[in-house]
Amino acid sequence: MTTLVEHLSSFLGESSAADRVLLDRVGRSIGLVRFDGHPCEGATTVVTNGLSDLPHHRLREELLLACWTPELSTDLLLVVEFVARQLAEGREPLAYGDVIGPAGPLVPGSAMEALYVCEPTYFPEGFAAFNTAPGCRVRLRWLVPIHAPEARIVEHEGAEFFEGLLVDEDPDLLSLGRPPVRLAG
C-alpha cells in the first residue's frame, strides 16, 4: 500500500509547493502539489492530491498537468481546479482519450482550447498508476492542453488515431504555444 504523496515522491522527489483547493460549500478540499524540474529540467508538474480519496465517489484518479515553468500561471492552475471540481461534483471518472472542451482559450495568449486526457508518457514507467490498498488502484490522468482542431480530430477519428499523430509528429506537449498537429495529406 502506498499513499499518493509517497508515490509521487518516489518518482519526483520533494514537492516545491502545495496549496489547498476548496471543492464545494460543504468544505471538501483537495491539495494541488507542484514539482519543479519534472518531467524534465525547466518544466513543472502539478498534481491533485485527494480526488481519489473523496468519500462516496468512484473516482480513483488524480489529475496531472505538466508545462514549461514560465508558462505555468494562476489561470492554468484555475483550469486544473475547475476540472477537479467538476469531477468532485459527481461527474464520471475521466478515461484515457477523453477531451474536456474546447471552450475558448485555456489561458490568455494561448491558442489551446481543450484538455486531452492521456497516460503520462513523459514520466517513467510505473508512474501512471499505483495501489493505495488491496483492490484500490489509483490512476494519474495527464491533462494535455490541445488546440480545438486537435479536439475535433479526437472526436472524429478517435483517440488512438490522435495519439498516432502525436507519435509521428512528436510535438512539445509541455508547450502552450506549440502549433497543432495536422492530418497527413
The number of residues making up the chain comes to 185
Band of residue 3 on the pLDDT scale cut at 50, 70, 90: confident
Ordered by start, the domain boundaries in the chain are: 4-169
Q: How far apart are CA 84 and CA 48, in angstroms?
A: 8
Residue 111, Cβ neighbours under 10 Å: how many? 16
Q: b/e string for 65-80 if b means 16 or more Cβ within 10 A?
A: bbbeeebbbeebbebb
Burial of 9 (0-12, 13-18, 19+ CB in 10 A): middle
Question: Does residue 134 register a pLDDT over 80?
Answer: no
Q: How far is CA 123 from CA 59, 103, 104, 143, in A?
A: 22, 28, 28, 13
Identify the pLDDT of residue 117.
97
Question: Does residue 115 register a pLDDT over 60?
Answer: yes
Identify the pLDDT of residue 90.
77
Q: Which residue has 502549433 as its cell numbers? A: 179
Distance of alpha carbon 142 from the chain centroid: 3
Q: Higher pLDDT residue, 158 or 132?
A: 158
Global pTM reads 0.92
